[in-house]
Chain A
Amino acid sequence: MRRFLLGLVHLFPEGFRREFGEEMREQIREDHDRAASRGRGAALWFSVTTGADVLASALREHLSPTWIGEPRSKHTHIMGRERMTMGEWLRDLHRAARSLRRAPAFAAVTVGTLALAIGVNTGIFSVVRAVLLEPLPFERTDELVIIRGTAGPDLSYGLAEEFYLQFRDSEVFESVAFFFDFTSSLRVGDEMERAWMGGGSSNFLETLGVEPIVGRLPTPEEKGRVAVLSHVFWTDRYGADPDVLGRTVFASGADLTVIGVMPPDFFFPPAEGVTLLIPQEIEAADVTPDIVTGFLSILARVRPGVGAQELEVELTTLARRIPERFGGSAAYAQQVSDFRPLVVPLQEDILGNARGPLRILFAAVGVVLFIACANVANLFMVRAEDRLRETAVRRALGAGRARLIGSLFSEAVLVAALAGGFAMVLAWVCLPLILAGAPDVPRLGNVGLGAPALAFAAGLSALAALACGLVPAVRSSAPDLGRLRDGSRGSTRRRSLGRDTLVAAQTALALVLLIGSGLLVQSFWRLSNVDPGYDTEDIFTFQIAPVSEELFDGPSYARFHMSFVERLRALPGVESVGVIENVPLNEGLSRGRFLREEEAGDPDAGEALSYTFTSGEAFETLGIEVLEGSTFTVDDFELGLASVVLSRSAADLLWPGESAVGRRLVSGANGTAYTVIGVAEDILQNDFRDAPQPMFWLPLAGPTATSWALSSPGYVVRTSRAETIAPEVRDLVREVAPGAPMYRVFTMADLAADSMVELSFTTLMLAIVSALALVLGAVGLYGILSYVVAQRRREIGVRMALGAQARRVQRMVVAQGARVVVIGVVAGLAVAVASTRVLDRLLFDVESADAITFVAMTAALLVVGLLASWLPARRASSVDPIEALRGE
Chain B
Amino acid sequence: MTAESGLSTLEYHVLLAMAAGPLYGYAIKEAVEAESRGAVTPRAGSLYRVIARLISWGFVAEATPEGDVEPHPGRTRRYYALTREGRSALAEEAARLKGAAALAEKRLRVAGGRR
Contact = CB atoms under 8 A, between A and B. Distances in A.
Interface of A: 9, 12, 16, 19-20, 22-28, 30-31, 49-50, 53-58, 60-61, 66-68, 71-74, 77-78, 80-81
B44 interface: yes
A68 B56 contact: yes
Given A54-B45, A71-B61, A72-B57, 15 more contacts: A16-B52, A20-B52, A24-B47, A24-B48, A26-B25, A26-B26, A27-B29, A53-B43, A57-B48, A67-B55, A72-B56, A72-B58, A74-B3, A74-B85, A74-B89
Given A26-B26, A74-B58, A54 B49 contact: no
A53 B56 contact: no
B85 to A, nearest CB: 6
A31 B3 CA distance: 29
Contacts of B58: 71-74, 77
A33 to B, nearest CB: 12
A53 B45 contact: yes
Contacts of A28: 44
Contacts of A23: 25-26, 48, 78
Contact of A54 (B3, B43, B56): B43
Contacts of B61: 71
28 contacts: A9-B44, A16-B48, A16-B52, A20-B48, A23-B25, A25-B44, A27-B47, A31-B29, A31-B43, A53-B43, A53-B46, A54-B43, A54-B44, A54-B45, A57-B45, A57-B49, A66-B52, A66-B56, A67-B49, A67-B55, A71-B58, A71-B61, A74-B57, A74-B58, A74-B59, A77-B56, A77-B57, A81-B56
B31 interface: no
Nearest to B75: A22
B111 to A, nearest CB: 35
Interface in B2-39: 2-3, 25-26, 29
A261 B19 CA distance: 81
Contacts of A68: 56
B55 A27 contact: no
B75 A67 contact: no
B107 to A, nearest CB: 33
A49 B43 contact: yes
Nearest to B47: A27
Nearest to B45: A57
B56 A58 contact: no
B90 interface: no
B52 A19 contact: yes
Nearest to A15: B52
A12 B44 CA distance: 12
Contacts of B82: none
Given A22-B75, A27-B47, A66 B53 contact: yes
Given A19-B52, A77-B57, A53 B85 contact: no
Contacts of B47: 24, 27
Nearest to A54: B45
Most chain B beta carbons < 10 A, residue from A9, A57, A74: A74
Nearest to B61: A71
Given A66-B53, A67-B56, A68-B56, A73 B45 contact: no
Given A71-B55, A72-B58, A74-B3, A24 B45 contact: yes
Contacts of A74: 3, 57-59, 85, 89
Q: Which 7 A-B pairs have CB atoms at the shortest separation, nearest pair first?
A: A57-B45, A53-B43, A54-B45, A66-B53, A67-B52, A20-B48, A24-B44
A27 B26 CA distance: 6
Nearest to B74: A26
A57 B75 CA distance: 25
A516 to B, nearest CB: 55
Given A26-B26, A27-B25, A60-B49, A71 B56 contact: yes
A28 B43 CA distance: 8
Given A23-B25, A73-B85, A53 B53 contact: no
A57 B47 CA distance: 9
A87 to B, nearest CB: 15
Contacts of B53: 66
Contacts of A78: 2
Given A50-B43, A53-B44, A71-B56, A66 B25 contact: no
A434 B74 CA distance: 71
Contacts of B2: 78
Interface string B73-106: 0010010000001000100000000000000000
A69 to B, nearest CB: 8
Given A68-B56, A73-B58, A61 B49 contact: yes
Contacts of B52: 16, 19-20, 66-67
A24 B78 CA distance: 12
Contacts of B43: 31, 49-50, 53-54, 57
A73 B58 CA distance: 5
A57 B56 contact: no
B13 to A, nearest CB: 16
A833 B58 CA distance: 68
A27 B42 CA distance: 10
Nearest to A55: B45
Given A71-B58, A72-B56, A77-B56, A56 B45 contact: yes
A12 B46 CA distance: 12
A17 to B, nearest CB: 10
A22 B60 CA distance: 19
A75 to B, nearest CB: 9
Nearest to A12: B45
Q: Which of B45, B49, B53, B61 has the most CB of A within 10 A?
A: B45
Contacts of B48: 16, 20, 23-24, 57
A129 to B, nearest CB: 43
A54 B51 CA distance: 14
A445 B56 CA distance: 56
A42 to B, nearest CB: 12
A428 B104 CA distance: 69
B60 to A, nearest CB: 8
Contacts of A58: 45
Contacts of B75: 22
Contacts of A49: 43
A67 B56 CA distance: 7
For A9, A20, A24, A31, which residue has the most chain B Cβ atoms within 10 angstroms? A20
Nearest to B89: A74
A27 B30 CA distance: 10
A20 B51 contact: yes
A703 to B, nearest CB: 98
A346 B68 CA distance: 90
Contacts of A16: 48, 52
Scoring B50, B53, B56 by chain A CB atoms within 10 A of each residue's CB, the highest score goes to B56
A68 B55 CA distance: 9
A329 to B, nearest CB: 88
Nearest to A46: B43
A16 B49 CA distance: 9
A388 B79 CA distance: 38
Chain A CB count within 10 A is highest, among B46, B52, B85, for B52
A50 B45 CA distance: 8
Contacts of B46: 53, 57
B51 to A, nearest CB: 7
Contacts of A53: 43-46
B55 to A, nearest CB: 5
